[in-house]
Amino acid sequence: MTGLVVSDASCLIDLHKVQLLFLALELPYRFVLPLPIRESEMASFTELDWSRLDTGGLEMLGISPEQAEAAERFAQGSSGLSANDGLCLLLAQDRSNSVLLTGDKLLRRAAEAAGVRVHGVLWVVDQLQEAGVCGASRLITALDAWRTDLTVFLPPAEIDRRLRRLRRSAGL
């Protein structure tokens, strides 16, 4: 394993929508999700999904009362961020060689200000391609789906840049 990835709900949901979540777990990272986020923000996942994620390597992190209090204090002091956002940031901050995986712009800014490495689902696409976990056509399909999904907020220019690179590499 090359590091720890602490994820918020949005990235896992977006990866799941395009069938890349289970493939992402094959990357050389330990993917973790704070348990309160599973319970409060991921109702669309079925028990079968959770069973596959558990066996696929997604780890659920239990939270101590002290961590919950710290996350709540963080949220109160940060306009627009929830306690769950604070929890993800604090967990990534507390662990060396970690990455915060988020699709939330405010959380990204807070992580950058705190000196925490932060990425989103497009980084996961890059990692999947680099590691050869799946083919370019699968990644192209996922990027095209995200581009037309009104609930996924990714920069169109970044999607297009990756699409051009993937199509070139696939000879398309």
Instruction: Give the end of a domain, one of 120, 137, 153.
Output: 120
Same-domain check for residues 96 and 78 = yes
Least confident of 77-81, 100-104, 138-142: 77-81
Contacts 24+ apart (CB under 8 A), 78-81: 78/106, 78/110, 79/106, 80/106, 81/106, 81/107, 81/110
pTM of the model: 0.92
- pLDDT digits over 44-92, tens only? 888 999 999 999 999 998 888 998 898 888 888 877 889 899 999 999 9
What pLDDT is stored for residue 1 in this prediction? 52
State the CB neighbour count (10 A cutoff) for residue 167: 13
Q: Residue 46 sits in a domain of what CATH number?
A: 3.40.50.1010
Same-domain check for residues 70 and 136 = no
Same-domain check for residues 135 and 115 = no
Same-domain check for residues 114 and 155 = no
Bridge partners of 4? 30, 98
Domain that holds residue 55: 4-120
CB 142 within 8 A of CB 158: no
- In 3D space, the residue among 75, 70, 80 whose CA is nearest the CA of residue 104 turns out to be 80
Same-domain check for residues 96 and 137 = no
Distance CA 67, CA 46 (A): 27
Same-domain check for residues 142 and 62 = no
Into how many domains does the chain fold? 2
Tokens of 18: 């395009």
Same-domain check for residues 97 and 76 = yes
